[in-house]
Amino acid sequence: MYGIPRGTLSAKNRNYITSTIRHRAKKFLSLLRIIERSTPQHLELHLIMDNYAIHKTKAVQKWLKKHPRVHFRFTPTSASWLNQVKRFFAQITDKRIRRGVFRSVPKLQQAIMDYLGAHNAEPKPFI
C-alpha cells in the first residue's frame, strides 16, 4: 500500500471523502470521526462496507455505542460487486490509472486526486 486514497463514497451526492491511510482499526476510527463531523447532526449515518475484520474491532464497536446515529451495513462476504467503493476504485483504475505512466507515488496520488476532483464536480450514480 503506497498511501493511495481510501475513504467513503456519499450515497446522497456521490462525492468521495478521501483519506490517504492504510486500512488499520485506529485509522478507520479517524475516518469515522471525519465522516461523523462532516455530516449534519440531525441525519443518521448508514455506512455500507465489506466484512473486513477492522470494521468489527472492539475499539470500533465501543465508538459505535457512543455514536448511536451511525449504523454499519455490511455487504455479503462473497458479493464485492455490491460494494460501491470497490466499484468506484475499479472505475478509477479503468479510466485513469491503467494506461497512465507515473514516475513517482506522488504523481500517481495527484492523478487520483485530479480524477476525484473531476468526478466530484459532476457526480453521477452507478447504474
| Cell reading at 46 | 448508514
* pLDDT digit string, tens, across residues 40-51: 999 999 887 777
Provide the domain count of the chain.
1
Q: Is the pLDDT of residue 62 over 90?
A: yes
Mean per-residue pLDDT of the chain: 78
Residue 126 lies in a domain: no
The values of phi and psi at residue 5, to 5°, are: -55, 135
pLDDT at 4: 39
Mean pLDDT across the stretch 52-73?
A: 87
Q: Which residue range(s) make up the domain with 73?
A: 6-121
Over residues 79-119, the pLDDT tens digits come to: 655 667 777 888 888 988 888 888 988 899 899 999 989 98
Domain assignment present for residue 11? The answer is yes
